[in-house]
């Protein structure tokens, strides 16, 4: 858990660090569009999840294979380390999704989609 007064500072640091990871990934990962994060600061850092979003299901499927998946995990771990977070197994804190799936399942409403995803522990 993180103290209430520190949440804003941590959020700004996370956004900056993850934005840098996103910009590094865009030219390297085919179909990668953007990333976001969700966190419940009452259960921080255990609740932190970084969602990497690809354009289509085929590009998402390719990202889940071998080197690309490993590269995403490394970028995420580096971004978290930059703000002083060591979460252990970073794969527990990374999710993958696609614009195509959100459009099909939630009419493109990412806020609803992310809110209704299963909570991680």
Instruction: Provide the CATH number for the domain around residue 31.
Output: 3.30.300
Whether 121 is covered by a domain: the verdict is: no
pLDDT category of residue 6 using cuts at 50, 70 and 90: confident
Whether 19 is covered by a domain: the verdict is: yes
Whether 73 is covered by a domain: the verdict is: yes
Q: What angle do CA 18, 23, 72 make, to 5 degrees?
A: 65
Q: What is the mean pLDDT of the chain?
A: 92
d(Cα 39, Cα 31) in Å, to the nearest integer?
A: 25
Which residue, 64, 45, 48, is CA-closest to 56? Answer: 64
Residue 48, CA distances (Å) to 13, 76, 100, 104, 106 in order: 14, 11, 24, 26, 22
Are 65 and 71 contacting, i.e. CB atoms less than 8 angstroms apart? no
Whether 104 is covered by a domain: the verdict is: yes
Total tally of structural domains belonging to the chain: 1
Assess whether pLDDT exceeds 70 at residue 1.
Answer: no
Radius of gyration in angstroms for the set of CA atoms belonging to the chain, rounded to a whole number: 14
Whether 34 is covered by a domain: the verdict is: yes
Are 22 and 72 contacting, i.e. CB atoms less than 8 angstroms apart? no
Assess whether pLDDT exceeds 60 at residue 119.
Answer: no
Structural domain of residue 55, as residue ranges?
A: 4-116
pLDDT at 4: 79
Whether 82 is covered by a domain: the verdict is: yes
pLDDT at 107: 97
| pLDDT tens-digit series, residues 40-88 | 988 989 999 999 999 999 999 999 987 899 999 999 999 999 999 989 9
């Amino acid at each position: 858990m993180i103290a209430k007064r520190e949440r804003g500072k941590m959020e700004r640091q996370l956004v900056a660090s993850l934005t840098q990871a996103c910009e590094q990934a865009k030219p390297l990962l085919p179909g990668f569009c953007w990333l976001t994060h969700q966190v419940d600061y009452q259960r921080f850092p255990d609740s932190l999840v970084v969602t990497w979003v690809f354009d289509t299901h085929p590009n998402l499927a390719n990202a889940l294979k071998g080197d690309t998946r490993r590269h995403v995990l490394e970028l995420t771990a580096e971004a978290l380390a930059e703000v002083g977070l060591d979460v252990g197994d970073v794969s527990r804190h990374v999710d993958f999704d696609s614009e195509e799936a959100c459009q099909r399942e939630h009419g493109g409403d990412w806020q609803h989609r992310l809110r209704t995803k299963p909570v991680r522990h």
